[in-house]
């Protein structure tokens, strides 16, 4: 475990009977990091989080928390509070009583409880609601109570399981900013489970992408976006283009070789081809922003495609094209570049 890490999953497997929910998960979480675990329903992200919280025990492998192996250690003996989608607030207690709850459980005296609760009510801007019941609060206010309740013990790490998924779109974006700023101000490690790419990519320092119990890729949002490691990640992101090709020519000391794919070919460097033999099937993934576009008569090699639509994305546009073999391509370019290319639906580009 590296010195900067607060959590280490060491080859962790979780089985429920014969079913493997989490398969050989191996990664570290840095101290003070905002890490998102993302993937579609059933991929094992909640189970991974629950093992860190001590709500499930790994079937194999080890989990380390702040240098200590915590397999088998009960959840109430770990300092890993969790904020749930349902929030699990106590409906018959006031806001203040909810926030004070875990301090009371730990035997903290009345005066200190009040003082610490005051601090967190204020930080979360809910002081004015302290005497209200949970049922008298809006969705966003409840979120703030749940955060105050989890943070009042000043843990080193906070676990969040889809905390925003019940909110409407507008509030969700506002709460993302609240969470993101809070995490930076406090310097606490956040581990955030979500199926939403926009949530994960807008808040997290690093993202873990899971599918069928396995980690597909770990990296910063920019790294993952620019260089999805495999077909699954590329398809999940939805903004990358996938080409299946066959290598032409035998490996040599040359700069690279041609790879032929349906509807065109391209030159790939020898270092990327990694000495693979002639005739080998290869897949290459190119993010929308790394694709080049040229007029069809420019003499550039590549694949001929027709523009079928464009979508405005702030300072850029996403251009949708279709190749002659029916493959859909996505290319992200600045408006200036597209004007120069005279790109419009029906344009033929390579
Ligand atoms: P979701 O986004 O739907 O919550 P998830 O990625 O968080 O999905 P998990 O809750 O971790 O997925 O579940 C992973 C797999 O393990 C699922 O197929 C689920 O049905 C199964 N699973 C989870 N808990 C149990 C359990 N207690 N007993 C049996 N199977 C379980």
- The complex's ipTM works out to 0.95
Residue nearest atom 22 in ligand 1 by C-alpha distance: 21
Q: Is the CB of 44 under 6 A from ligand 1?
A: yes
Strand order in the sheet with 189-194: 82-83, 157-161, 189-194, 34-38, 206-211, 214-219
Nearest-CA residue for ligand 1 atom 16 is: 21
Q: Is the pLDDT of residue 224 over 80?
A: yes
2 pLDDT more than 80:
no
DSSP assigned state of 277: P
Distance CA 317, CA 188 (A): 37
> Is the CB of 212 inside a 6 Å radius of any atom of ligand 1?
no
Other beta carbons within 10 Å of 165 = 13
Tokens at residue 279, please? 């005739």
Pick from 7, 6, 39: nearest CA to 26? 7
The predicted model scores a pTM of: 0.85
The yes-or-no verdict on residue 221 having pLDDT over 90 is yes
42 lines ligand 1 (CB under 6 A): yes
From residue 333, alpha-carbon distances to 103, 180, 266, 321 in Å are: 53, 29, 20, 13
Sign of CA dihedral 52, 53, 56, 57: positive
Which ligand 1 atom sits closest to the C-alpha of 213?
14
Domains located in the chain, CATH noted: 5-226 (3.40.50.300), 239-349 (no CATH)
Identify whether the C-beta of residue 221 lies closer than 8 Å to the C-beta of residue 204: yes
- Between the CA of 74 and the centroid of ligand 1 the distance, in Å, is 20
pLDDT score for 320: 93
Q: How far does the centroid of ligand 1 lie from the alpha carbon of residue 85, in Å?
A: 15
How many CB atoms sit inside 10 A of residue 88's CB?
Answer: 10
How do residues 119-174 score in pLDDT, each as one tens digit? 999 988 889 998 998 988 888 888 889 989 999 988 999 999 998 887 888 888 88
What pLDDT is recorded for position 166? 78
Ligand 1 atom 11 nearest Cα: 44
Mutate-to-test residue for ligand 1 from 16, 40, 209, 213, highest number of ligand atoms within 8 A of CB? 16
Which element (helix H / strand E) includes 339?
Answer: helix 335-341
Q: SS3 for 86?
A: coil
Find the 249 Cα to ligand 1 centroid distance in Å. 47
Q: Which residues of 275-307 are buried (b: 16+ CB within 10 A; e: fewer)?
A: eeeeeeebebbbbbbebebeeeeeeeebbebeb
Mutate to test the pocket of ligand 1, among 46, 197, 200 (most ligand atoms within 8 A of CB): 46
> 232: which residues sit within 8 A by CB, 6+ positions away?
209, 211, 216
Q: What is the mean pLDDT of the chain?
A: 90
Burial class (CB in 10 A: 0-12, 13-18, 19+), 95: buried
Which residue puts its alpha carbon closest to atom 27 of ligand 1?
A: 16
CA distances from 219 to 26, 145, 202, 222, 227 (A): 14, 31, 13, 8, 10
Q: What is the pLDDT averaged over residues 191-204?
A: 93
CA of 118 to the centre of ligand 1 (A): 37
Q: CA torsion sign, 91 to 53 to 204 to 241?
A: negative
């Amino acid at each position: 475990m590296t010195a900067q890490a607060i959590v280490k999953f060491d080859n962790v497997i979780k089985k429920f009977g014969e079913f493997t929910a989490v398969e050989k998960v191996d990664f570290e979480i840095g101290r003070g990091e905002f890490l998102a675990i993302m993937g579609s329903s059933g991929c094992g992200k909640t189970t991974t989080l629950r093992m860190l919280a001590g709500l499930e025990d790994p079937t194999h492998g080890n989990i380390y928390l702040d240098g200590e192996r915590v397999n088998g250690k009960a959840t109430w003996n770990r300092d890993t509070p969790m904020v749930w989608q349902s929030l699990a607030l106590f409906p018959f207690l006031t806001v203040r009583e909810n926030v004070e709850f875990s301090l009371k459980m730990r035997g903290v005296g009345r005066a200190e409880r009040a003082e610490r609760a005051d601090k967190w009510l204020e930080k979360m801007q809910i002081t004015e609601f302290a005497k209200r019941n949970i049922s008298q609060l809006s969705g966003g206010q409840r979120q703030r109570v749940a955060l105050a309740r989890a943070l009042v013990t000043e843990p080193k790490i906070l676990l969040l399981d889809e905390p925003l998924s019940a909110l409407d779109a507008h509030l969700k974006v506002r709460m993302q900013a609240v969470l993101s700023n809070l995490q930076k101000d406090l310097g606490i490690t956040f581990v955030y489970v979500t199926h939403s790419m926009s949530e994960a990519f807008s808040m997290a320092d690093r993202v873990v992408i899971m599918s069928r119990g396995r980690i597909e890729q770990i990296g910063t949002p920019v790294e993952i976006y620019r260089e999805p490691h495999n077909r699954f990640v590329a398809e999940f992101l939805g903004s990358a283009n996938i080409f299946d090709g066959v290598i032409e020519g035998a490996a040599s000391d040359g700069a690279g070789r041609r790879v032929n794919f349906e509807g065109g070919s391209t030159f790939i460097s020898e270092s990327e081809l990694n000495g693979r033999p002639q005739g080998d099937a290869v897949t290459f993934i190119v993010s929308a922003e790394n694709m080049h576009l040229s007029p069809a008569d420019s003499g550039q090699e590549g694949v001929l495609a027709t523009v079928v639509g464009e979508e405005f994305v702030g300072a850029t546009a996403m251009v949708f094209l279709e190749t002659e073999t029916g493959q859909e391509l996505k290319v992200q370019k600045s408006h200036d570049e597209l004007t120069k290319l005279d790109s419009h639906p029906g344009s033929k580009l390579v």
